[in-house]
């Protein structure tokens, strides 16, 4: 199964989309040494990416035409790491509730023995386009309010 959008970082990691539809999604990753921490288990950033991608796809999966569905941007995410993760990892995402502009999701990562390694909740904003697309970063910095000096 192919990801609906081209996401270079996800492709670089080697994530595979296993399930997508009805408010649920599953992504998988065969852990390799380059993605581990100093203890030789999955780096927390890898687990958070699995959770983020799985939940974002769950949020997008309820649209009638997923290929034409709006994208999502992560607004916030809370992650709990429960135990070290090794082997083939599966990130599961489930849409809990949505409004016209927001999706509230939960996700979890299991290892190839079915042990839950991490859990997360997140909020996503549905977007048709990235607000900064086509703008220059310096233009955004000039227009951003500056914090007052103490």
148 compared with 134, residue with greater pLDDT? 148
25-64 per-position pLDDT tens digit:
999 999 999 999 999 999 999 999 999 999 999 999 998 6
Which CATH class, in words, describes the domain spanning 8-143? alpha beta
pLDDT of amino acid 140: 45
Distance (Å, whole) CA 26 – CA 133: 29
Q: In the structure encoding, which two tokens stand for residue 98, read together?
A: 């949505």
Confidence band of 132 (pLDDT split at 50, 70, 90): low
Look at residue 12 and give its three-state secondary structure: helix
Beta-carbon neighbour count of residue 145 at 10 Å? 5
pLDDT beyond 60 at 144: no
Domain boundaries, the chain: 8-143
∠ CA(32), CA(73), CA(57), 5° rounding?
60
Contact in structure between 23 and 95 (CB atoms under 8 Å): yes
Averaged pLDDT for residues 99-127: 96
Averaged pLDDT for residues 105-130: 94
pLDDT beyond 90 at 145: no
Average pLDDT score, the chain: 88
Averaged pLDDT for residues 66-93: 91
Look at residue 129 and give its three-state secondary structure: coil
The proportion of the chain whose per-residue pLDDT surpasses 90, expressed as a percent, equals 73
Residues with Cβ < 8 Å from 142, sequence gap 6 or more?
A: none
């Amino acid at each position: 199964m192919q990801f609906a959008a081209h996401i270079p970082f996800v492709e670089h990691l080697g994530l595979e989309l296993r399930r997508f539809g009805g408010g649920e999604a599953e992504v998988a990753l065969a852990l390799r040494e380059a993605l581990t921490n100093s203890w030789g288990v999955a780096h927390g950033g890898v687990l958070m990416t699995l959770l983020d991608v799985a939940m974002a796809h769950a949020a997008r999966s309820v649209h009638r035409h997923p290929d034409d569905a709006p994208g999502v941007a992560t607004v916030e995410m809370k992650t709990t790491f429960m135990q070290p993760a090794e082997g083939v990892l599966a990130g599961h995402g489930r849409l809990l509730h949505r409004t016209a502009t927001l999706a509230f999701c939960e996700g979890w990562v299991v290892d190839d023995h079915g042990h839950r390694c991490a859990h997360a909740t997140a909020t996503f904003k549905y977007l048709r386009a990235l607000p900064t697309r086509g703008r220059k970063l310096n233009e955004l910095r000039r227009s951003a309010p500056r914090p007052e000096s103490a």
